[in-house]
Structure 1
Amino acid sequence: MAQLERFAELRPPAYGVDAVAARMRALGAGWPPRDGVAVFNRVYLSVTEEVGRHLDGGAFPDARAASTLAVRFAERYLAAVDAAGDGHRTPACWRPLFQYRRHPGISPLQFALAGINAHIGHDLALALVDSCHTLGCEPADVEDEFDRVGDVLGSLEERIREELMPGPDLLQVGDPLTHLAGSWSLERARDGAWASARALWALRELPAVAEEFGERLDEAVGLVGRILLTPLPD
């Protein structure tokens, strides 16, 4: 599956943030709560709802740009869900989560972090490029919206860790889950996504090189996801 759509074929989003949130709710209702994709879906739904509240409250300088970015971002995840549901090969960044979604030795926190890693480490960069083509602008023109969406994600990261950590007895430096969770950073993933988006934008006149860059990014993020989903002893 090609990871970069043909930019010329991109159309404006046919629906808004509320519609993608509704789709996530419908998906979650059909999955067992302990399912690894369902765990991530709940986390991502809370982020999407928060972005929607910010949009309604006028928190974004350019609401159209922010909405476009949020929807293009969600489309990447929903496309992976559809591919997995149809028995097709998902992008490499998502493959570990779909492969291990029912593994009993993996904690909900690991599932959530693996999904966030795939979505921010890979999908966010491509979604920003998609958005720039849709809006007819440069990445720098939507940097404020990118940062504000990232701030929403960042504000939820600590809550996610607190809610999904099994208990205070695991808050020790030597504990495997604490060590694994502490080895991944949302802030660094955001910074990487911004740099990757700028590189992809600079390569837009070299589609073969951009495609190869996107594939390598996909594979690298998938490798991190596989490490985050290492089964841990009880």
Structure 2
Amino acid sequence: MALLEHFTTPVDTVVSRMRTLDATLPERDGIAVFNRVYLAVTEEVGRRLYAGDFTDPAAAITLDVRFAERYLRVAEEGCPPACWRPLFQFRRHPGVRPLQFALAGINAHIGHDLALAVVDACRTLGCEPAELEDEFDRVGDLLVSLEEHIREELMPGPDLLQIADPLTHLLGAWSLDRARDATWSAARALWALRRLPDLAEEFTDRLDGAVGFAGRMLLTPMPD
């Protein structure tokens, strides 16, 4: 318990920063939509940490905080890498629906930031990625359950979900489970490349660009 108490402050800090963003951003802003989703995830991680649901609290907190910090730097400083750029560019577009904003943010954060956060956490803790796999899976399972809630909460009404509705087809082309699996592979690859900085940088740049491309597709404006 002493170890858990020692590591809780960084989680509280990132939650506080997300709440500050929530209070300052316009409600319909695309970053605000994603921020509300991510705040709920981080608060739930904190509750589960206090409940003892993680077998290695120090590892879980380190991964969670390194992960959150990557998003918060982008949101607070406003200088997004390629994976986040579509959401920043379309954040006020009237033809993009809230569900698209939420999933585009999840795509950027899971597809790119999480892989780098695993490497960050391994360096901080002095461990291999395999030693963080349980924590990675637990956070991933929470995100999957939250994504289901997001789709129920933000999905338009039944009249907009006919088989021919473009949003139905667009959202059906993206899967959080597939994104999470790809991220774990990317994290392991980046860890293996850590002593080859030129290759690691090239891999990271290509990952950034590919995730950004997927985000741009998710943000395709929908007809009224």
Q: TM-score, normalised by structure 1?
A: 0.91
2:81 alignment partner in structure 1:
91
Q: Secondary structure at the match of 1:16?
A: helix
Give the distance between the partners of 2:156 and 2:8, measured in 1 at CA. 40
Matches within 5 A, 1:62-101: 62-84=56-78, 89-101=79-91
Matches within 5 A, 1:12-161: 15-84=9-78, 89-161=79-151
From 172, 175, 184, the equivalent of 1:185 is 175
What's the CA shift for 1:174?
1.8
What's the CA shift for 1:178?
1.3
Write the deviation string for residues 132-171 of structure 1: whole angstroms up to 9, x where unpaired: 0000000001100000010110111111001001111223
Give the distance between the partners of 1:20 and 1:168, measured in 2 at CA. 36
Superposition RMSD in Å: 1.2
Give the distance between the partners of 2:56 and 2:156, measured in 1 at CA. 40
What percent identity do the matched residue pairs reach? 72
Shift of the 199–24 alpha-carbon distance from structure 1 to 2, 3 Å rule, reads same
Size of the aligned set, in residue pairs, is 218
Q: Secondary structure at the match of 1:204?
A: coil
Q: Secondary structure at the match of 1:18?
A: helix
What's the CA shift for 1:15?
4.6
Q: TM-score, normalised by structure 2?
A: 0.95
From 197, 201, 214, the equivalent of 1:224 is 214
What's the CA shift for 1:94?
0.4
Give the distance between the partners of 1:15 and 1:60, measured in 2 at CA. 17
Kindly report structure 1 stretches of 4+ aligned residues shifted beyond 3 Å: none
Give the distance between the partners of 1:146 and 1:173, measured in 2 at CA. 35
Write the deviation string for residues 159-199 of structure 1: whole angstroms up to 9, x where unpaired: 10010011112233321111111111100110011000000
1:10 alignment partner in structure 2:
none
What's the CA shift for 1:14?
10
Q: Which amino acid aligns with 2:68?
A: A
Give the distance between the partners of 1:152 and 1:32, measured in 2 at CA. 27
Give the distance between the partners of 1:14 and 1:100, measured in 2 at CA. 35
Give the distance between the partners of 1:184 and 1:173, measured in 2 at CA. 17
Give the distance between the partners of 2:201 and 2:130, measured in 1 at CA. 22
Q: Which amino acid aligns with 1:61?
A: T
Give the distance between the partners of 1:169 and 1:176, measured in 2 at CA. 13
1:8 alignment partner in structure 2:
none
1:5 alignment partner in structure 2:
none
| Contact 2:8–2:61, Cα closer than 8 Å, also in 1 | no
